[in-house]
Amino acid sequence: MDVQTQLFTHPARVLTAGPLDSERLLALVREQHAFDASVLDERTPFFWPAEISSNRLDAYYTRMAPSSLRNYAAEAAAGVSFQNSHAVDKLGFGRSLTGAYSEEGELARVLAEFYTIPGLRLHDVSTDDFILGVRAGLIRDVSIGFYNCTFRCSICGRSIWDYECPHIPGVKYAKRNDLGETVGEELAFAWVDDAHLAEVSAVYDGATPGAAILKAQQEADGGRLRPEVAQLLEARYRGLRLMRQAWPGSGAGGRGGEPVDLEKLIADVRGALGVAADADLVAAVRLANDEAKRLQAEVARLQTCEQRATEGAQRIAELSPLAEDGRQYRADLVAAALAEGVRALGNQFAPDTYRAILDAAPLETIKRMRDDWRVVGDQVLPGGRLTRDHAPATNSKPVETPDAAYRS
């Protein structure tokens, strides 16, 4: 189950404390938050403190780990929005100014201070009404929204979403010693590790994360939820309806309302998997589970390869026109160099021989040979016109044939 993108909530409480250091908080608003600080002269901000989270066990049997609490303190100090009942699709009417993590004995908690200004109406509740409610003690419960966390089982230490973890937060399980003997019971709950603070909300009653409900539904869907546990959870979390698989003596029906023979069902599964004992059956199921995880990882790897191949094809399509331009530029450069060679050396130039040399040469070599032949050509055939329209007059007499040449 992917819980990285889900937003969970956790209960907290507005503190009834002594006078706040308004001057210090006003300076924080002025220096770090207000876009136009002159509004603070027009409307005096209202400040209030709250314990936004702690490591206390909540009503849904989750507890905040120190890693989460320290994250909340840092993120509250940086500033998060104060919302109305986790309505994150609406504008908030306040903001956090400070955040501090503290430990007092076994209790660890996060304290924060918030501010708003009177006269705002960004949604159904005005800040004037909110301030009046806080001052009168009518608005006391707040709740944080958090995300990107791991729910770790207090009994086995695995993620509660791991199939290998059979424990549901809020349910008691037999506690055994090293010899496997039952020595009592222990209550399962979920540690919330490395969560991050999204927002803080005013709520009518402290909300809690649904980890226990989601885990219970997962166990029910997998056929591992005992009927007495399902009844306990449905009574505890009113409105929760679990699809329970039938167990011996439960009176619950399978398909078509018929009771399920659990021993026959297990025997059928053993026969299908080719195993003789229940221990072998567990091993086979675990092996199948591991193979499923391996196949899932392989599918993810192939999807990544497919994505990279698609990106590579797109890149090739983008570069192909540039490659064609480069080939044409090289052909034109070779032709220009050969032309300069003919101009420089005339009939003594062997184009075919030099073409083979130029085709294999770097561009810089082709340019150098072209320029060198151009210099020679300019010396052999200097620029400008070499003919004259009128030949200069001469004083020489025409050559006359003597008379003796005609005598025999």
The β-bridge partners of 199 are 145
Beta bridge partners of 48: 114
What local confidence, expressed as pLDDT, does residue 351 receive?
87
Which pLDDT score is estimated for 216? Answer: 56
pLDDT confidence tier of residue 164, bands split at 50, 70 and 90: confident
What pLDDT sits at residue 408?
Answer: 53
Average pLDDT over residues 159-187: 86
Report the length, in residues, of the chain.
408
Q: What's the pLDDT at 255?
A: 41
Answer whether residue 277 shows pLDDT above 90: no
Percent of the chain exceeding pLDDT 70 equals 69
> What pLDDT, on a 0 to 100 scale, did the predictor assign at position 290?
78
- Computed over every residue of the chain, the mean pLDDT equals 77
Task: Please state, in angstroms and rounded to a whole number, the distance separating the CA atoms of residues 151 and 173.
Answer: 18
Q: Give me the residue label for tokens 């992917």.
A: 2
* Residue range 357-408, pLDDT digits in tens: 888 899 999 999 899 889 888 888 776 555 555 555 555 555 566 666 555 5
pLDDT at 65: 95
Q: Is residue 4 predicted with pLDDT exceeding 60?
A: no
| pLDDT of 196 over the 80 cut | yes
What is the structure's pLDDT at 281?
59
Q: Who wins on pLDDT, 392 or 5?
A: 392
Closest CA to 171 of 226, 210, 249: 226
pLDDT higher than 80, residue 168: yes
**Which tokens in the block code for residue 369?**
């040979």
Residues forming a β-bridge with 9? 145
User: Cα separation of 160 and 62, whole Å?
Assistant: 11
**Pairwise pLDDT comparison (72 vs 228), residue with the higher score:** 72
Taking the CA of residue 250 as centre, how many other CA atoms within 13 Å lie in the half-sphere pointing to its CB? 21
Best-predicted range by mean pLDDT (111-120, 210-219, 342-351, 385-394): 111-120
Integer Cα distance of 261 and 267 in angstroms: 10
Residue 338 scores a pLDDT above 80: yes
Q: Is the pLDDT of residue 243 over 50?
A: no
pTM: 0.51
The larger pLDDT score, comparing residue 214 to residue 202, is at 202
Q: What is the pLDDT of residues 11-39, one digit of tens each?
A: 555 555 556 788 899 999 988 888 888 88
pLDDT the model gives residue 267: 67
